[in-house]
Every structure is written in C-alpha cells, then in structure tokens.
Structure 1
C-alpha cells in the first residue's frame, strides 16, 4: 500500500504510516468472504459477503491482543451500530471500542484486550456495505436478520477457528433492536445445525426495543432533571399519548411521524437538549439551515438527527481517506456512508414496532440477555428501558424484580460508583452512571468492565 506523504515527513507521520500498513490478507475479494485466515492474535482481516443479489455486506475482524492469552482463549464479540445506517466499522470501531481512535492513536479501553472483535456494517447500504439497486435495501427486521444469517454462516464456515469460541452480540441503539432479532434467528440456526458457532448471548445497549416506552418516558425524565416546566411536560406528554395511540392501532408509519413531532416539541421546550446526552446541547443551526430543516420531510429530519451524528466530518475523512486506502477492496464508485440515509428511509415502517416479544423468546430459549443503559441518555432513556423490561412475560421476571442491585466500580482503588447491576439466571441489567447514549465513548473503563462481566471474564 502507498500513501501520499505529507509536505514535511516526521515521526508522527511515520507512526501513522505504520499503523495504517495492512496486515496479511489472504483470499479477499469484493464479493466474497476471506477463505484462509491468519491464526495469530494481533491480526485483522476484512471482506464482503453478498447476502442477496445486489446486496453486499462489509465486515472487519480484529483478533484479540491479550498480553497473556491466545485469541482462542477469549470470546468473539460482534458489534452492531444504530441508526439504522450507523457504521459499526466506522463509529463503533474508531469512536467506541476498537484498537485505535479517530486520530489513529491506541485506545486504552479497547475491547480488543479482552475479546476478538467483529464489526459489521448492517443493514446493507450502511458504512462500506452497499447495494447495486435501490430495491435491495432492507425494509424490516426480518430482512435484516435474514441478511445477517447469510453473513454469519459464511463467516463461521470460513473462520472455523471461531466456531467453538463463545460468541456474543453487543449492540447500541437501533443496533439493539437488530441484535434481538438477529440473536433469535441465530439461536434457531445453531439449533438446526445450519450455522456452527458457540452463540453465548446478546447485550442490548441503550436499545430501541420498545420505542413507545422511550417516548412515553421522555417527559417525566426531562421534568425530573429540570429540563421541562409544567407546560412543557404537558405538551410532550400530549404528543407521546398520540404516539401510543398510533402504535396500539398498528399505524407504525404514522407513529414514526409523531415520534419526530415529539422530538421537535422537546427541542422547543428544552432549548435544544441533546438527545444523546442531556448535559450537553445540540449545535444550533443557522437560520438558513433551520428553514431547510423545516421544509424537509419528517423522515429526512429524523435521519439528519439520528444518523448524521454517526458520520462526523473527521470520521468520514478518515474512512474515505486512509482507511479506504488500507482496505483496498472498496468499489471505486462508492464511498463510506454514501447510502446510509437510504438505509434509514427504507426502514420507515419498522422504526416504531416493539420487539419485547423477541426478547421474551430469547429468555425462554435460555439465551443470555444483557440490558445496559447510560444514565444521561434521552433518546433511549433508562426509565423507558425499565418500563419494557417490566412488560416481559418471562416466568422468572418476578424473581429478577425482587433482587437488589449491586454497585460496581471501574477503578478498584476508587470508592466512586460507576454502575449498578442486577442479574438473575439469563437476564442482567446494568445502569451505567455518567454515560449518555454511547456508553463506551462516555465511560470506557466501565464499558470494558461490563463486557468482561457479561462474557464471564470477571
């Protein structure tokens, strides 16, 4: 690989060059999975899988780099981003849990020190994944899960060294909704013998499992945090009830429009609170941008709010520049994130559908389910998560509810509480303090500790 040198080469550039040099890749192609892999830790490989005609999904695997253990002694974690349309190989990798940050500097809290990491850009059209025809975008969770089954079958068939290693699906935001659906289909595939892997559980982070429970809790949560007054609470609660009515009638597209209306009411009443961390504020738009925003459809506005932040300028420049050059297999006429808005738009009818029943099926099947949430998140606030958990029909739920939570400390030398946890049989809930929607970004040490606890390393 060649990179154009800067005008004044120096030590920092040499470091970046070394970090970007591709590791051995064997048998990669733009339309197929890698068929022959290195087995030493510290390696990374990537490729495409054609999951349907004209639908190509990109994945990126890092082998664990524990100082004392071989990767075969550690779990494999697949990370799913939200949106839908957020890139796992971009945002999750470089801004949350991967080995390097967006400045290509080592991340102290990378999950790679305790697990091999598989980043997948899904649904198709997300990140470096792409479709050749507009009709090939996924339309609902069932299609998203079916596509992932094709990718995972190909992956584990080609990576037999991972077939017996504990495999976990960790997720964030809409990725949690996808993780639930994918987890259930994977469980069935493993039982049927069509996919060979040691599926060990799902972790649903700040997850869009029951959207209406989130919307209904926005008003009370913001009011309790002094971010709404009485009149504001009444306005937010009124539109939230409209969302509930639409969901109860199965009018999911209408519910999506009302979801967007509820967010606009909140922005007006809170002076632009950030939906991803209530202690910060969204960057105000110029008057021209604001006028354009108002003229756009509700779907475009929702996409701008919930996908744009996953494709910041610095991350886009990194992925479409040095990373693209490193990977070498990205089609010339396609750029990272170019189809993400189309991914979001095509899922319109799926946004507001709850998947509580899928979580129930996972629990009934004995699959380990972990729910974790950031204290400062609004879009998927903890109150809403607790609400849908209480709706589970899992027979063991009453015993789970009777338990007291336990305090956790990310630093064993500190008495400062980092989280609380409650766990019974195959259900666990983590309350992560001082974190917003992106828990690993806000509380890297605690997120890493949680991952080790979930994967039974602590």
Structure 2
C-alpha cells in the first residue's frame, strides 16, 4: 500500500514540496514515511538523505523532524539549520510500531536488526519504484543512537539488494551518529576499568568518588558476564541497572549531554522504578517523546497528514517496540561495519563530545578493532580541525578520513548533535555528501 497525500493545509507554514504515506512491509505491519524535497531550484542537484532515530522506538518523523533537522521546529517556525536546505530528507518511523508506524498485534513487532532491515527493504523498494525521480540521485542513510545500529544492518541489506537489482537506487553511503554499534566496547582496555561497558571513563572519574566508582564497576561487570554467557535480555536489564547506579552516584548526570541538567521528576520516576526494563525505556524513548511533541504529533500534524488511522496514536507502541527488541539491544554489530567497508560502502562515524551514553572514546575503541584493511593508515592520521560555523576562529569539530571511512568528533555537542550544534551538523552533512 502506497498512499498519496495532500501537500498543504491552510494552517501549515511550510511552503516546500513534500509527500508521505504508508507501506505494508509485512502482514499486519505498517510503516510510515515522510519526504521533504530539497529547497532548491532543482532537487535533482542535491542528495537524498534518510534519517533514522534511535530507541529503538524513537520517531524520526517526530523527533528527528521537528527537534533536529526538519524544515520546521516544534513551534512550526522555519529552522535555520534544516538539512532540507542541502538535501531531500526522508524520515521513516522505524521499526514498525514506532511513531505513526503501527502493527495489528504485538506479535508483528520486530525482534532484531535483521528483521528491521528486511522490513526496510520492502519500504525502500516501494519508495524508489514510486518515486522514480530519486533512483539516480545519491542516497545516504544518516542515523542517531540505536538508529545507527539499525542503519548498519539496513545498509548491508541495501547494498546486496542494489547488486541483485531488486532495489533501484544510487546508494552512496551511511553515517552513524552517536551510534549503538558496540555496547561493550570489545576492548581489553575498557574491560580492565569498566567491565567493557561503553561509558565515558574520563567524565565518570571526575564525577565519582571511590565508592561510586566501585559500584559502577561492579554493575558493569555484571553486564559483561551476561553478554559473555549469551544472555542478552539479562544483559539489557543489567545495563539498565548500571545506568541507575551511575545516576544515583552523580546526582542524575544527563546521559545525553553531561553539561545539561536532567529533568528531576523524570529522573525520580526512573530511579524509583523497580522494573529495570521500564527504566531503560525511560532513557531511550521518553526523552524523544516528551509531552509537547506528543501533543503536536497527535494534534495538528496528525490533522495535516490525513492518512493516520483513527486507532493509531503517535508513539503509542514505542515501549512495546523497545521491549520486543530487548534481546537484541546489547548485541554488537561491528562485524557489519567490516562487511560494509569491505564491500566499498562509504561509512562515516560521527559523535558528540558531551555524549555520555555513547561516548566518543568508546566509539574510537571499537573502530580500532575493525578488520578493515585501511585501519592502520587511518589510525596513523592526525585529526583535522574544522572551524565552528557560529564562532569564527574557534574549533567546532575534528575529523579524519581515509578511503571509504571517516570519523567526525563534534565539539560542544551531546547525543543529539543537530539539536546542540545545528550549524556544525549541517556542515558535516555537506562534507559527507560531497557538497564541500
């Protein structure tokens, strides 16, 4: 099913070209997408970017669109740093059950990234078959958090589909932002300090006393043990316990940006919750589905779109999505990155300096474990500084690139880089998509 859509309503402030609809990716599984054509005299001169949110259960069409990179903000006012200025942007509520996407039953929810990738292949095949004008345009996948883990699996499946000719598109690369690629880091250096858990050592050492450090280390080792035993659902629960321990010993450090204060009431609801999976859903989904955004998406946006079934509430299945994927949450996908690089796919990793839940040091550590044949030369390269677009003469980021791999370290940004450093994120987009 590929539903057409009206392009404007009188209350709507956006004047650009857009379209949206549903694709039935499986029986009882319905995925929603929303496309903005690039703000240009000819959108065909600019790339197409698909944005994937994290969670799993975070809505790209909601959070990514109105809080980060879409043409309008949550007040429906134009965003100065919208990515639509430099690309056509496709938001997809993924996996099914996320945002406006929905399933007819909980049994139809995805269980792992392989299932997520299979569903996305159905959507992309339908999309490019209908939107034929995009078949030859360079197509990039950008992602954030757990969206990066899904993006890796989707990119590998898409590469194979393009080679077979089952999907007609010009796949140009994938960018993994603050991505949940290797939850345990997979390195002995991390194991010796934190049980292998990917947390920002430097930050925690500055916030924890010896007793707190001991508690966090003990909790982290429990995560490692569960993973080593192949007990991944238990590992997910233990990871939630570790996050609770960190919060309790740091007066509620904000996992998404260490320089901002976490909401006290939300923190208390998490810390007082004896259901650890519920605490996980708090940290990975609720910040993306806050009250004001929910009101926007279930109010004027729903009215504008005109295709959302009456029985579907935006974000209504988000927690079920996370729970259904809990057995996959702590599994690494570093091997998929190796496959992508070996296949010649352009891979970019980008990370915020102030992110705690997916810190830059942890990302560098799993990168060093790649089997990619260019790793040695890449590791020997020096970082190149990028000037902050908003502060002349100041460094806004560091990056280095070799062959088909690049790494961007974005300063003064946390987990949601476009929200924290919109101009720098936009410049990175242009560099990755070869516009600079």
1:221 corresponds to: 202
Q: Could you tell me how far apart the structure 2 residues matched to 1:336 and 1:453 are? A: 34
Q: State which of 131, 136, 153 in structure 2 corresponds to 1:159.
A: 131
Q: State which of 105, 129, 149 in structure 2 corresponds to 1:177.
A: 149
2:314 corresponds to: 336
Q: Could you tell me how far apart the structure 2 residues matched to 1:282 and 1:165 are? A: 41
8 Å CA contact retained: 2:199, 2:356:
yes
1:61 corresponds to: 35
Q: Please show how residues 340-419 of structure 1 align to structure 2 within 5 Å.
A: 340-411=318-389, 414-419=392-397
Q: Please show how residues 165-244 of structure 1 align to structure 2 within 5 Å.
A: 165-213=137-185, 216-218=197-199, 220-224=201-205, 226-244=206-224
Shift of 1:248: 2.1
1:388-422 CA-partner distances (Å, limit 9, x unpaired): 10110111100100000100013287111000001
Q: Could you tell me how far apart the structure 1 residues matched to 2:62 and 2:94 are? A: 12
1:350-407 CA-partner distances (Å, limit 9, x unpaired): 0000000000000000000000000000110111111110110111100100000100
8 Å CA contact retained: 2:200, 2:362:
no
Q: Could you tell me how far apart the structure 1 residues matched to 2:227 and 2:165 are? A: 37
Bigger radius of gyration among the two: 1
1:257-292 CA-partner distances (Å, limit 9, x unpaired): 11011101100110100110011222223898468x
8 Å CA contact retained: 1:65, 1:71:
yes
1:19 corresponds to: 13
1:146-199 CA-partner distances (Å, limit 9, x unpaired): 000000000000011000000000000000000000000000000000000000
8 Å CA contact retained: 2:270, 2:279:
no
Q: Could you tell me how far apart the structure 2 residues matched to 1:216 and 1:381 are? A: 11
Q: Could you tell me how far apart the structure 2 residues matched to 1:287 and 1:47 are? A: 36
1:288 and 1:216, CA in 2 relative to 1: closer, same or farther beyond 3 A?
Answer: closer
1:329-355 CA-partner distances (Å, limit 9, x unpaired): 000111100111110010010000000
1:197 and 1:290, CA in 2 relative to 1: closer, same or farther beyond 3 A?
Answer: closer
Q: Could you tell me how far apart the structure 2 residues matched to 1:274 and 1:158 are? A: 43
- Find the residue that maps to 2:395 and give its secondary structure: coil
Q: Could you tell me how far apart the structure 2 residues matched to 1:53 and 1:61 are? A: 24
1:237 and 1:219, CA in 2 relative to 1: closer, same or farther beyond 3 A?
Answer: farther
Q: Could you tell me how far apart the structure 2 residues matched to 1:398 and 1:334 are? A: 50
TM-score (norm 1): 0.89
CA RMSD, Structure 1 to Structure 2 (Å): 1.8
Q: State which of 248, 251, 273 in structure 1 corresponds to 2:228.
A: 248
Say if 2:423 is the partner of 1:449.
no
Say if 2:277 is the partner of 1:283.
no
1:358 and 1:286, CA in 2 relative to 1: closer, same or farther beyond 3 A?
Answer: closer
Unaligned runs of 5+ residues in structure 1 are: 1-14, 24-41
Unaligned runs of 5+ residues in structure 2 are: 1-8, 191-195
TM-score (norm 2): 0.93
Say if 2:294 is the partner of 1:294.
no
1:219 and 1:404, CA in 2 relative to 1: closer, same or farther beyond 3 A?
Answer: closer
